[in-house]
Amino acid sequence: VVSDCGQYMAAEHCYHSHNVMVPLVLFLAAALALWVYFQTHRPKNFPPGPPPIPVLGNLLELHLENPIADLERLAKRYGNVYSILLGTRRAVVINGVGALKEALVNKSADFSDRREDLFVRRAAHPKAHAPGVVLSPYSPGWKEHRRFILATLRNFGLGKQSMEQRILAETHRVVKLLQQSDGKPVDPQSIFHHTSSNIICQILFAKQFDSEDEFMKFFTSFFRETSKIINGPWGMLYDSIPSVRYLPLPFNKAFHLFKMSHERYLEKFIENKKTRVPGKPRHFIDAYLDELEKKKRGNTESLLSEDQLRAVLLDLHFAGTDTTANTVLSGLLYLMKYPHVQELCQQEIDRVLQDKPEVSLEDRVQMPYVQAAIHEIQRTANTVPLSVFHCTTRDTDLLGYSIPKDERIIPNLSSVLNEKGQWKRPDEFYPDNFLNENGEFVKPEAFMPFSTGPRVCLGEGLARMELFIILVTLLRRFRFIWPEDAGEPDLTPVFGVTQTPKPYRLRAQIRSSLK
């Protein structure tokens, strides 16, 4: 009897457990299904895109080492405005001249914000009240900073002969280094990062740094390392799947490096503040502090602050170094790959400059082919392929699609620089893409390597000056040759927030006309 009773009670317990477990499992399954639905559901009239899978979204559709080709493939399938799910985070990808101009120019007030939860923002500018200018929300504070920065850059020589002289002085350092190489293969990577960094440092700190200076060595390495992480696989993973952010993964290296960069800017800030004379600015730091004190004296509401100054220093130093250096490196690589283009540039340079001791920016108008070659270098180098991600400021629409407020926007600049119908030969390195039938330089509207609209790169004017003066000066003195034992030049870039050529070596042979 006892045995039968025990068996009965066990069966009864099993029955009740079963009755409890079934509803619980059904409830959890329903909750999971609802979670998956809301995570992957596209709102009404939202841009189309590939079907996502739970947790990963469309990440398996993208080659995270370099997703450019995959984004182009999806545009062919879904159109110039489509959506993807990066993990659990939605994004709208905008492709082509028409769609990008409509969003970033015609509807710029709707599409010019920045998200505060992006990896690059949290790593580069961890203080919420000091977002810098590149990653700052679209706000009166951002507009105030942008106006001030542009005015200060002009005050310190942007577009003027004094800036030309600074660029020439740094370029002469490069000429000296290449002459000392005596035609033997050299690695140009650090040379050009040092050059472009020193040019912007003269504005920021009124100082030139030796290549062995610890400050310079840290930042030239820092820019190369972090640019690869930000839009690389680990940065993408951080932005796509929030649950991995607390794991000891490689993106933590970027947080560490950015922290070190802020510490170094703080040292420079304290050092310069000791010798500052109010009202007599020597460099950008002084000018910013003068403006900050002026706002305080007038009790004017402003977002200027010392923390924000250090954030802006990072923005200007990074943007003023990495993009220009990588474009010059790409340029020399292409000119070695296509020596006939190099030779045509040198013939035009010789014809225009003749006995003139140095090139000047005003010589551009007489060098249509050189201008075309430099712009073609920028087009094919595709240095900032996905710009910096934007965000919508309010509910809006684009080409018939409804896009909610706070939606992540990816401007695919690469799609414009290679768009069929916009270029004579979009898939080739072809300077004639920028020449009309009369051999005159023209700039198609699809040329937007610095983005477009209110968020266009702050350093565009300086970059144009540097590229022209540096490349013309070097091509006038040297013939650049690919080393015979190095195989074929590899034009495939290393993807990042800025793309860079794979490391290479070059030979700089002094031209026979100068021997």
Distance of CA 386 to the CA centre of its chain: 7
Strands 89-94 and 408-411, sheet pairing: parallel
Local structure of 92: helix, strand or coil: strand
Between CA 332 and CA 327 the distance in angstroms is 9
Any residues with CB less than 8 A from the CB of 175 and at least 6 apart, and which? Answer: 473, 474, 477
Closest CA to 384 of 296, 478, 319: 319
Residue 55: enclosing H or E segment and its boundaries? Answer: none
Tokens of 432: 């004639």
Any residues with CB less than 8 A from the CB of 337 and at least 6 apart, and which? Answer: 429, 482, 489, 491
Any residues with CB less than 8 A from the CB of 165 and at least 6 apart, and which? Answer: none
Report helix angle 460-477 to 306-337, nearest 10.
40
Local structure of 34: helix, strand or coil: helix
Between CA 83 and CA 123 the distance in angstroms is 26
Report helix angle 140-155 to 306-337, nearest 10.
60
Identify the bridge partners of residue 510 per DSSP, sorted by sequence position.
Answer: 478
How buried is residue 294: exposed, middle or buried, by Cβ count under 10 Å (0-12/13-18/19+)?
middle
- DSSP string for residues in 379-420: HHH-SSTT-S-EE-SSSEEETTEEE-TT-EEEE-HHHHHT-B
**What angle (nearest 5°) sits at the alpha carbon of residue 117, between those of residues 74 and 30?**
70
Encode 288-323 in three state secondary structure: HHHHHHHHHHCCCCCCCCHHHHHHHHHHHHHHHHHH
The stretches of 79-206 forming alpha helices (DSSP H) are 97-101, 108-111, 119-124, 140-155, 161-180, 189-204
Ligand-binding annotation for 457, yes or no, is yes
Neighbours of 93 (CB within 10 A): 24
The stretches of 184-251 forming alpha helices (DSSP H) are 189-204, 214-230, 233-240
List the binding residues: 457
List the binding residues for heme: 457
